[in-house]
Structure 1
Amino acid sequence: MKQLINRTIQIRGFILIGVLILIGTVLGRMMWNNLHYMETLRSNMNYSRQIQQTSLELETVLLDTLSGERVEIRRDDLKKLSDEIKYITSLGHHSDEETPKNLRWINLILTDFIKRNNQVTPQILFPILSLINQILNTEIAHDELVLQEVISKIRNELMLASLIIIASLLAVKWFFQSRIFNPLQDLAELLSSLTEEKLEPISTYGLNPLLHPIYNSYNDMVGRLKTLEEEKHQHTLSLEKSVQNATRTLMEQQRSLARAERLAATGELAASIAHELRNPLAGIQISCSNLKKEINNPDQAQRLGLISNEIKRLTRLLNDLLNQAKHTPEPSTNLELAHEVEEILALTRYQIPDKLELQCNIPKNLHHQFPEDGFHQAILNLLLNAAHAMDKISGIIKIDAWEDKDSLCIAVCDEGPGFSKQVLEYGIRPFASGNGQQGTGLGLAMVQRFTKESGGYVQLTNKQPQGACVTLIFPLIKKLA
């Protein structure tokens, strides 16, 4: 009897699995076909978009020439258009068979214009523009036909799949209703008695043979539940006590963690503010010193001395609060290095003694992608570090920039005593200053963090006979042809 029940259940299970496999096969096939249709349509539309972009660029060149912004059409523009047409031709996602031939013909004409020495006038390029627009219109028309075909195929597949799914669902509904839901409804009435804590076994006399295993399991469960009920009561008492103890411990840990996080955030904020305030305070202090030298009134000179002493005291207090702070990334922009450095030097001249000379040897039109504020702060830190190193001597602080193979180099060099052997051996470390008691050790650390986040690295060297040089080396961004 048990074998017959198991065999009947297996047969019905195989039927259900077969129906589900049929539905999955139909849906998978439909999704695969739709994906193929969409990929084809996407490739064709992208091909048309590339042609449209080339047409717009050619129209821009012609408009600039006709409006007088350009004297003539540059061969670089024609070379760029020729390269784009070659790229479009190589894609091979055209809808019209004549499109590759027409594009190759356009490329031959552009190549011929590039090789000529005479001037290329806008009137010569109008036929090319007309042909490109004609190719674009033809491709768009073909894409619309392909889209209509895809929509028709998808609609037919959806109808077929819907019919199969509806029929399968009806069959599954009948199967579950007659063979599963009805017997389970009877069982639900028995299980409802468990909610009323009626843990009594039931008789299986006269029941459907398919339900015998379930009802026998129910009787076993009822017997086991009686035993577990008592065990649960004892375990609940023990668990409640454990939860209370764990809750108290967790709350204490959370309070300690929150207090530690607040202290860390306060320390980071204090360090960031302290470091940013030190530079303007240094400029104010030097300005007071210079002003004190120029004033002959002893009373006013004494007041300026008091101001200078208070600034020094404030600087010492800020140094005590220094700590590393959270860094928020800044978006990069295309900077002309010579212009940006000249602005930084103009600001720096007010913060360093007159005996120090600032020199900038950066070629014009040298560009690179940097976060503007981060770049300004890094260069300013290097210049002020160099000025602090040359505190008691006169000399030149020089900043250079150049491109070397695949790298951009920016060097700030001074004529001071140079880096110590420890700095050159162990590198840059936060809070390890090479400027004695005057430095905090965060200036070079912030420069190094900026350089690493920009994809580069910092190189520290000493010059002969004396002087230090900090070189920032960044990878060059490859330009598109």
Structure 2
Amino acid sequence: MRLGAAPHQTLLDRPARLRGMALLALLLSVLFILGWMIWRNLERLDTIHAYVGYSHRIQNAGLDLQQALMDQIASGRPLKAERLREIAKKIRDLAGEEAHLSPDTPEHLRQVNDALSRAGGLAPLPEETELFQALRAMNQILNSETDQRETVLEGINRNTLGELELATATLAGILLLAWVFLRRRILAPLHDLRRLLLNLADEDYSPIETEGLDPLLLPVFNSYNVMVKNLGELEETKRRYAESLEAEVRSATRALLEQQRSLARAEKLAAVGELAASLAHELRNPLAGIQMSCANLRSEIGDPDQAERLDLIGEELKRMTRLLNELLAQGRQVPTPPSEFQLAPLVRELLALTRYQLPPQIALDYDIPDDLACFLPESNLRQALLNLVLNAAQALDGASGHIRLSARIEDGTLSIEVYDDGPGFGDQILTLGIRPFGTGRASGTGLGLAMVQRFARELGGQLRLANHLPHGACVSLTLPAGKPS
């Protein structure tokens, strides 16, 4: 056992090595069969090449002899001894080689050589001459060699076909055994593993039994069991995290709604304070006139009793003026300083938080360039947009609908438009304009649009209301977006 190797790992290495050696033996067997067939065919080709070459040389010698005979007949003179010796030398060389197929070929070649030796210098005979006898003998030799070569070729062809059939059957058997082994021991378990992996898409994290599995695939299925166990734990962790996140979102939503209700109450009180401040401002002037009139009347009256009464009235008027001044001082607000920021991220975060306050059937989206920058009080703008979105959602009254924000900058002016496909604004608000506590809904406060309008006016902008066809409302908020020069 290797140092540090697990026992089950060592047990699994043995069948893996045995199968690897078996596969290597099969490959070597195939290579041996193919090599043996190639070597046998090359050896046969060499033999056939030698036989064919020997036959061609016999044929060439016979052609030389035939040509010599034709020359002798045509000229009527005996052949030269030198030419006959040249032909006889070729015949002797052929007789001395072992490339013949017929066992009678060497003896026939010697007979041809003897006939050529006797024909040297002799005159042609009227019938059969020695040359004719030699030519007939060469033809017999050539025919005999051709017959023998055909016989040898037929035998080689039969042997080659038999060896080819044997090799094909052997290879087919090897491939069949390999396919059966691969299908039953490799492909079938892998197909089962593929089906199990597909079950993971259905969140089926059940482990599988590993008894009876092939030892070579056992690590794969053990790894699968470990994986599905870890996935199950991760899924449970994710579920618990999602539940806790959902609880946190619900808690944050409740807190946000509570803050929204508190803000609505604060806005209502602020509107009341604004109304009180405006009344106090308007009451100070007549009170100052009354106070001056009382002072003048006091200087003109000589009756002490009447003068005392006028002094009491003057003191009360001073107290009322002091109370009105304190009320105005309390109504003053310190404006929020502007800052430069990107509008798209602000709207994106605002809609993400607002999503939890609205019914799921209400869709929210926006169309704002990512590079749109403005120089405004960021928190006040956020609150104004929140009021517009919530006002549009309340106009839908729980029905399915769509709320969309869009913004653009032209000539240093930021234009923000909030669309909804609700019933639209009533004729009263479109005719009379936005007023605190003026609302067309039974559950509305009438302060949302009033506060947005006040915010716009404080910055030198304006708020416009309109309806669009076939139904729905559009609120346009225009503000100066650039830094003052």
Same fold (TM over 0.5): no
Q: State the TM bucket, normalised to the shorter chain.
A: 0.3 to 0.5
Q: TM-score, normalised by structure 1?
A: 0.37
